[in-house]
């Protein structure tokens, strides 16, 4: 297996299974820390904010309908003449779901790699980190017309299935132009809701190029019961075009030249991306979801560390 420099940007138009496997070493610098209480009923190695009976006492509060009567604190109840119940902090396992976009719009890049490649590397890093943390790992890998649903299990074999599906869908890409019958992101998010059980940690890795009100609604429903993180993938050429150059772009079949000395065109181009990013930021703020922007010109590991690095999680 070739030696990888995890602190350098990913490279190329396609991923290799060898590279995805090699990322398991870099994933040791990442940690998927729960932000919400877990609803899983299976024991595991992650201490979460699940409120139930367990080994570590957390607090006492007023009894609420549906609380387990075995957790009533009779001393406090007798002293206050108001029913109180004990809350405990438990260790729980939880499913981690990777939602990986490998649609035509991801088949784009300007210098180091395509968006589809950096997205695949990010998914592999998060998958290895989850497995190292004894979480159950699953995925929804999709392109414009197909999807692969891998249900969460705590096994190396399951993660290998995720990585193989990632490579398979990545190698099918051959144009940044989507087909006429492409399935929208909103439908994929709806499919994700069938897979993700309450309490799941959900990593949505996409360029969100077709995000709309239907997507907003699906994300709202996912966020109500899951720990959702948005990983927005972009390329520097989408953010800002170089000044005073004639750029030749191709979809694999046709070529077109863009004159970046046209100020009006540049401003319109950049405003479109700015509006897209503003929509994502506003939505993430409204739903209290972490949003991480991942660029093709930076190392995936270093970018993920800002949100999932062990130091960041401790803070």
Supply the CATH number for residue 113's domain.
3.40.50.410
Rounded mean pLDDT of 68-79?
Answer: 89
Average pLDDT score over residue span 189-204: 92
- 64 and 159 both lie in a single domain: no
User: Which whole number is the average pLDDT over 28-37?
Assistant: 73
* Angle, alpha carbons 254-256-261 (nearest 5°): 170
Q: Is residue 278 part of a domain?
A: yes
Paired tokens of 42: 């299976």
Do 189 and 61 lie in one domain? The reply is no
Q: What is the mean pLDDT of the chain?
A: 86
Q: Is residue 121 part of a domain?
A: yes
**Host domain of residue 74:** 46-92
Determine, yes or no, domain membership for 5: no
Q: Is 81 left (phi over 0), alpha (psi -120 to 50) or beta?
A: left
Let me know whether 194 and 67 are in one domain. no
More confident residue, 71 or 49: 71
Q: Are residues 68 and 124 in the same domain?
A: no
What pLDDT does 146 receive?
96
201 and 162 in one domain? yes
**What is the pLDDT at residue 42?**
42
What φ, ψ does residue 241 adopt, rounded to 5°?
-85, 145
Least confident of 53-62, 94-103, 196-205: 53-62
Among residues 92, 127, 155, the one where a domain terminates is 92
- Lowest average pLDDT, out of 7-16, 100-109, 129-138, 236-245, goes to 236-245
**In the block, residue with structure tokens 């059980």:** 197
Identify whether 98 is part of a domain.
yes
With 0-12 CB in 10 A as exposed, 13-18 as middle and 19+ as buried, what is 108?
buried
Same domain as 30, residue 82: no
Instruction: Please state the domain count of the chain.
Output: 2
On whether both 86 and 221 belong to a single domain, the answer is no
């Amino acid at each position: 297996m070739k030696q990888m420099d995890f602190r350098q940007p990913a490279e190329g138009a396609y991923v290799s299974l060898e590279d995805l496997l090699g990322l398991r070493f870099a994933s040791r610098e990442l940690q998927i820390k729960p932000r919400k209480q877990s609803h899983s009923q299976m024991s595991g190695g992650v201490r979460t904010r699940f409120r139930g009976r367990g080994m570590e006492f957390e607090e006492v509060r007023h009894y609420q309908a549906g609380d387990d009567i075995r957790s009533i604190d009779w001393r406090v109840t007798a002293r206050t003449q108001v029913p109180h119940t004990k809350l405990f902090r438990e260790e729980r396992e939880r499913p981690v779901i990777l939602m990986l976009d490998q649609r035509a719009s991801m088949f784009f890049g300007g210098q180091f790699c395509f968006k589809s490649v950096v997205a695949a590397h990010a998914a592999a890093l998060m998958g290895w980190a989850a497995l190292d943390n004894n979480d159950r790992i699953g995925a929804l890998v999709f392109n414009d017309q197909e999807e692969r649903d891998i249900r969460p299990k705590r096994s190396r074999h399951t993660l290998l299935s995720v990585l193989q599906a990632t490579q398979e869908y990545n190698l099918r890409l051959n144009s940044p132009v989507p087909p006429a019958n492409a399935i929208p992101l909103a439908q994929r998010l709806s499919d994700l809701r069938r897979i993700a059980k309450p309490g799941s940690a959900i990593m949505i890795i996409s360029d969100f190029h077709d995000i709309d009100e239907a997507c907003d609604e699906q994300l709202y429903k996912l966020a109500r019961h899951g720990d959702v993180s948005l990983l927005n993938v972009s390329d520097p050429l989408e953010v800002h075009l170089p000044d005073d150059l004639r750029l030749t772009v191709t979809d694999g079949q046709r070529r077109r030249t863009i004159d970046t000395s046209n100020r009006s065109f540049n401003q319109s181009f950049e405003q479109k991306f700015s509006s897209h990013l503003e929509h994502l930021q506003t939505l993430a703020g409204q739903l209290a979801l972490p949003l991480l922007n991942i660029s093709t010109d930076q190392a995936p590991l270093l970018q993920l560390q800002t949100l999932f690095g062990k130091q960041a999680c401790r803070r």
